[in-house]
Amino acid sequence: MPLSEPRSWPHLLTRAMSLAAVATVLSACSASGLSQPAPPHGDARNTAAPGEVLNGGGTPVKGGTLKISMAADPLCLDPHSISSDTEQILGHLQFDNLTFLNADGSPGPWLATSWTISPDGRTYVFTLKKGVTFADGTPFNAQAVVANFAHMLDPNTRSPLAGPYIAPYASSTVIDDYTLQVNLKSAYSPFLNVLAQGWLGMESPKAIQESTPAQLCAHPVGSGPFTLTSYTPNVGASYARRADYDWGPPALGQTGAADLDGVDLSWIGQDPVRYNSLISGQYQLTGYLPPQNAAAVQANSQFVFEDVNRIGWPFTFDFNTSRAPLDDIKVRKAIVEGVDVNAIVQTSQFGQRGVARSYLDSVTEFYDPSVQLPAYNVQDANALLDGAGWASRNAAGFRTKNGQELDLKLPVSNATTVSPVYDLLQAQLKTLGVNLQVEVQPQTQVTTRRYAGDYDLLSGVWHTNTPDVLSIKYASSQIPNSAHLGQNLARLSDPTLDRVLQRSRETTDRTELASLYSQAQKQLVSDVPGLPVYQNTVLWAFDKKLHNVIVNTSHGTPLLTYAWLVP
Amino acid sequence: MTTTAHLPAPRGVWLRSRLPRPGIVLAALFLLVVAVAAVVPGLLAAQDPLAIGTDPGFLPPFASTAHLLGTDQEGRDVLSRLAHGTAPSLVMGLGATGIAVIGGAVLGLLAGLGSRATEAVVMRVLDVVLAIPELLLALIVIALLGTGTEHALLAVGVATIPYYSRMVRAQTHVVRRSGYVEAATGLGIHQASVIWRHVLPNAIKPVLVLATIGVGTAIAVGASLSFLGLGAQPPAPEWGSMLAAGVQYISVDWMLVAIPAVVITLTVLSVTVLGQDLRRRAEGRTAR
C-alpha cells in the first residue's frame, strides 16, 4: 500500500534496520485466565480494562478504509512463522482462532464452539463451528485444524512461537468433520489459552499445502474478517473486507461482516515519524506509540490513548548464570539491590510504565504481590560485591578480582533505536564499580551470541496470556543450544523450580496453581536470574473518528473486527 | 637540499598577505573554539559527559547555570557532551582525510609515474570506485568490518581516496615534465629520490588545499554514519549520534536536535570557508 516517502539512503537504511528489528522482537502469546483486573483509571497511565470497548456507542458507519501504522515489518505474514508482536494486531484482521479470551481472562469459544478435557488433562475433544470458510473457499473443519497443527510443528515452518507453544501436542483423531480429538504428550493446562494467541490463527489448509514457506509468508490465507490484497515488504499491506464473514468471537456480542471496507497498514520504523503522522491525520491508529509522545497524545482530545499492561514477563535483563561473573549469586544480588530501577524507569519511560520487582507482570494470573525482590540498597550491594571477592578497584574505579576487571557484556541490536535504559543502567553500575559494556551490533550477530551463550546480560520482554511464561523463561529444558532455540536466556537450571513449573502444567486445580506459581515466583526471587525493570505495557492511540475498538484481553492490543470510521 | 618547484602560480601568492575578510575571521575563531574543545574539553564544560545525576532530562538551554545548554533525555549535560564529542567528530574529519590523502598520493604517484599499463589499471579501478557514491561505499566498508568509530573513519577515508589520487596524478604529469625534474633525472639522481624530493612535494600542494575542504565533508559524512548508528557507539558523545538521539525526542525538546545540528553545520561551513580561501590564495585568484 502506498506510502510515499523520499527514498534517501538514510531513510531506506533506517527503515531496513527497523524492519529487521521487528522480525526479532520476541513476543509471547495470549493470556490465561486473567483474573486480576487491570489497574483502575486515574493513575498517570490510561489503562484500559481487558475486553473494554473504546469509543463505543453511536450508529456504525459502513465503509471507509482505516489507515494504521506499525513500528516494523515482521517480513512475513504467516502467523505460524513469526514471533513479531505486530501479529497480535494485524493477525486478527486476517485470521480466526479456535478460542478467544473472555474479558475475565478465561478461554471462551470461537472457531471451537465447545470442548471437553479428559481428567488426566491429556485429551481435548473440540466441537468446531460449521459454515466457516477460508478466503480461498476452503471449508474450515477438523482436517483443517489438523493441517494447522502440523504446519506449526513442521520443521520447515521454523516456527518461533506457535510451534513451541503447542510442543506437548502429540496427535489428532478426526472423529467427524466438526469434532476433533487432540492428544497431548503430557498434561498442559495453558493449552486453551495459547490457542487464543494471534500466532496460532487458523490458515487455509489448501494454501498451506500448495505454498512454499516463502509464498505463505507473502500471501497467507485465513478465515478472518479481512483478506490480504497486497503486501510490500517494509512498506505496508492492504486488507479488504470479506462480505460473507459471520463468525466473529461470540464474546464480542456482534455478528456479521466488518463495517470498514478495508485496512491499509504502513510500517514506520522511526518513532518521531510514526507519532507525527498520527497527529497530522495521515493514520487513524498506531499500534506502537513512543512513550516520549504519550503525554502529548493523552492531552489531545482528538485521540484515544491506551496504555495496557500485558500478561507475561516484564522488561528484564537476563543474567547469564552459566558463566563468570554472574554465576555468582552474590554478584547477581548486588546488581539487583544496587541499581535504582525507579530512577531508570522514571527517566526512560516518561511515567508510562510501572516498575517491576518480580519476574511476572503484575496483571498475570497468579501473580503474587507479596513476592518482591529486595529494595534498592547501595550499601548492601557494595558489601555483597566485596564479599564476592571483588573488593579492590582499578584506576578507572571498576572492581577487580585477581587482576580481572568486573566487566559485563550486553549485546544490543542496532536494528532499532538503542534504548536509553542501557545508558542509565551503565551509569548506575559504574557507581557500583561494575563496567557494563553495551555492544551495539547487527541483529544476526546478537542472535548468534544469544544462542551460543556469549553474553553476560541480555534484555527483553515476553508477553503471553498465561503464567506459564515462567516455564518458557526459566525451565531448564528451555536453555538454548544449537538444536533448540529455547528462551531460558538466564540459562538457569534449578531442579526445584523445574519440578514446580512442571506440576503447574499438569494441574488445572486453581488453588494448587496459585500455590505452585507463588512458589515459583519465590524460588526465582531467591535465584535472582535477572534484573526486572519495568512492566511490559503496550502503548497505542487512535483518532476519535475511529469507533468501537476492543481491547483484546490476550495481549492488550486493539481488536478491529467491528471498528468503524466516521469519514 | 630540496629544490623548490615553481608552480604555475608565481611564488609568493601562496601566502600573500592580505587583510582577511570578516567571514574568514569568524570561521577561524569558531574553529579555534572547536580546536580547544577537541584538545581540552574540560575548559569549556566541566561536567562528565556520561554522568547521569539527579537532574531532570530535557532542561532547556540557559534554564540552569549548571547546564548552560540544558540536559538531554537522560539528564546529561548537553554542553559537556558537545565539548567531549568534538574530538571524535574532528578525528573523523582529520583521520579520514589523512587516509584519503596518503592513499590518494600513493595511487596518484603510481598512476602518474608508472607505466601506461599501470596507469590504466589504477585509473580504471578508481573510476569504478568513483562511480559508487561516497556514503554508499562507506556503508559497504562498515558492512564488511562492523560498526565503530575506527571503521567509520576508515570507510570514509577509503571512499574519498579517488578524488585525491586523480589530482595527484594530474599534478604528477605536470611536474614530471618540468625542467627541474628532467634536470635531476639527467644528473643521474636515483629515481626514488627524484620522486621523494622533487615530484611529491610539488604535486601535493594543491592536494592539501583540496584536503582542507575535504575535512569538512568528512566530518559531515562521519556525522551521518554516527547518525545512522554506524559510527560512535552510545553512550560515547559524538555530534552525529547526539543528533540521532535527539531526533527521537524532537516533539518533546527540539533543542536536542538543533544544538548538535548547528554545531556540525558551523564547523563544516568554517572549514570549507577557510579551505576555499586557501584555494583562492594558492591559485592566485582574488578572494571573492
Residue A36's pLDDT is 31
Cα distances (angstroms) measured from residue A476 to each of A327, A450, A462, B148? 15, 16, 17, 36
Residue A330's pLDDT is 97
Of B147, B229, B248, the CB nearest to A272: B248
| Block residue for cell numbers 463505543 | A56
| Block residue for cell numbers 483474573 | A35
Question: Residue B86: is it exposed, middle or buried by C-beta count within 10 angstroms (0-12/13-18/19+)?
Answer: buried
What is the enclosing helix (H) or strand (E) of A460? Answer: strand A457-463
Q: Is B252 on the interface with A (CB under 8 A)?
A: yes
Residue A287's pLDDT is 87
Residue A512's pLDDT is 95
A425: nearest Cα among A357, A347, A368: A347
Cα distances (angstroms) measured from residue B235 to each of A224, A454, A531, B95, B238? 46, 22, 21, 22, 9
A530: nearest Cα among A425, A393, A383: A425
Q: Is B227 on the interface with A (CB under 8 A)?
A: yes
Q: What is the pLDDT of residues A535-564, one digit of tens each?
A: 988 899 999 999 999 999 889 999 999 999
Residues 154-213 of B with CB under 8 A from A: none
- Ordered per-residue pLDDT tens for chain B, 288 residues: 455 555 555 544 455 556 778 889 999 999 999 999 999 998 888 888 887 777 778 888 988 888 899 999 888 999 999 999 999 888 888 888 999 999 999 999 899 888 899 999 999 999 998 888 888 888 888 888 877 778 888 888 888 899 899 999 998 888 888 888 888 888 888 888 888 888 888 888 788 888 888 888 888 888 888 887 777 777 888 898 898 888 888 888 999 999 999 999 999 999 989 988 888 887 765 444
A262 confidence band (pLDDT: 50, 70, 90): very high
Which residues in chain B are closer than 8 Å to A423, comparing Cβ atoms? Answer: 50, 52, 74, 234-235
Cβ A414 vs Cβ A70: under 8 Å: no
Q: Angle formed by the axes of helices B86-113 and B116-131, to 10°?
A: 150
Residue A216 has pLDDT above 50, yes or no: yes
Q: Which residue of B has its CA nearest to A17?
A: B228
Q: ipTM score of the complex?
A: 0.70
Percent of chain A at pLDDT > 70 equals 91
Cross-chain residue pair A423–B74, CB shorter than 8 Å? yes
Residue A294 has pLDDT above 80, yes or no: yes
Residue A153's pLDDT is 94
Task: Count CB-CB contacts under 10 A for residue B52.
Answer: 25
Q: What is the pLDDT of residues A79-95, one digit of tens each?
A: 999 988 888 899 999 99
Radius of gyration of chain B (CA): 22
Residue B247's pLDDT is 87
How many Å apart are CA B101 and CA B203, to the nearest integer? 12
Which residues in chain B are closer than 8 Å to A339, comparing Cβ atoms? Answer: none
CA distance B223 to chain A (A): 12
Cβ A177 vs Cβ A78: under 8 Å: no
Q: Is B145 on the interface with A (CB under 8 A)?
A: no
Residue A415's pLDDT is 63
Cβ A543 vs Cβ A559: under 8 Å: no
Residue A247's pLDDT is 96
Query: In A106-116, which positions are buried (b, 16+ CB within 10 angstroms) versus exposed (e)?
Result: bbbbbbbeebe
Residue A351's pLDDT is 81
What is the enclosing helix (H) or strand (E) of A461? Answer: strand A457-463
CA trace torsion B203, B204, B210, B213 (10° rounding): -170
Of B234, B247, B250, the CB nearest to A440: B234
Which residues in chain A are closer than 8 Å to B233, comparing Cβ atoms? Answer: 438-440
Which residues in chain A are closer than 8 Å to B74, comparing Cβ atoms? Answer: 347-348, 420, 423-424, 427
Which one of A418, A431, A432, A439 would you mutate to disrupt binding with B, by most B Cβ within 10 Å of its Cβ?
A418
Residue B18's pLDDT is 63
Residue A29's pLDDT is 33
CA distance B170 to chain A (A): 32
Cross-chain residue pair B229–A440, CB shorter than 8 Å? yes
pTM as predicted: 0.79
Looking at per-residue confidence, does A443 or A8 come out higher?
Answer: A443
Among A133-147, A344-358, B68-82, top mean pLDDT goes to A133-147
- Between chain A and chain B, the number of residue pairs with CB atoms below 8 A apart is 71
Cross-chain residue pair B73–A292, CB shorter than 8 Å? yes
SS (H, E, C) A503-542: HHHHCCCHHHHHHHHHHHHHHHHHHCCEEEEECCEEEEEE
Cross-chain residue pair A414–B51, CB shorter than 8 Å? no
Which residues in chain A are closer than 8 Å to B228, comparing Cβ atoms? Answer: 10, 13-14
Which one of A410, A423, A425, A438 would you mutate to disrupt binding with B, by most B Cβ within 10 Å of its Cβ?
A423
Which residues in chain A are closer than 8 Å to B251, comparing Cβ atoms? Answer: 272, 275-276, 292-293, 296
Residue A454 has pLDDT above 80, yes or no: yes
Phi, psi values for residue A41, rounded to 5° = -65, 160
- Listed in sequence order, the DSSP H helices in A27-127 are 87-94
For the domain spanning B83-282, the CATH number is 1.10.3720.10
Cβ A309 vs Cβ A363: under 8 Å: yes
Q: What is the pLDDT of residues A2-57, one digit of tens each?
A: 333 233 333 333 333 333 333 333 333 333 322 333 333 334 445 677 788 999 88
Residue A402's pLDDT is 94
SS (H, E, C) chain B: CCCCCCCCCCCCCCCCCCCCCHHHHHHHHHHHHHHHHHHCHHHHCCCCCCCCCCCCCCCCCCCECCECCCECCCCCEHHHHHHHCHHHHHHHHHHHHHHHHHHHHHHHHHHHHCCHHHHHHHHHHHHHHHHCCHHHHHHHHHHHHCCCHHHHHHHHHHHHHHHHHHHHHHHHHHHHCCHHHHHHHHCCCCHHHHHHHHHHHHHHHHHHHHHHHHHHHHHHHHHHHHHCCCCCCCCCCCHHHHHHHHHHCCCCCCHHHHHHHHHHHHHHHHHHHHHHHHHHHHHCCCCC
A418 confidence band (pLDDT: 50, 70, 90): low
Lowest mean pLDDT: which of A166-175, A198-207, B58-67?
B58-67
Cross-chain residue pair B228–A275, CB shorter than 8 Å? no
User: CB-hemisphere CA count at 13 Å for A192?
Assistant: 27
Cβ A437 vs Cβ A408: under 8 Å: yes
Cβ B162 vs Cβ B129: under 8 Å: yes
Q: Which residue of B has its CA nearest to A294?
A: B252
Residue A292's pLDDT is 87
How many Å apart are CA A396 and CA A370, to the nearest integer? 40
Residue B275's pLDDT is 86
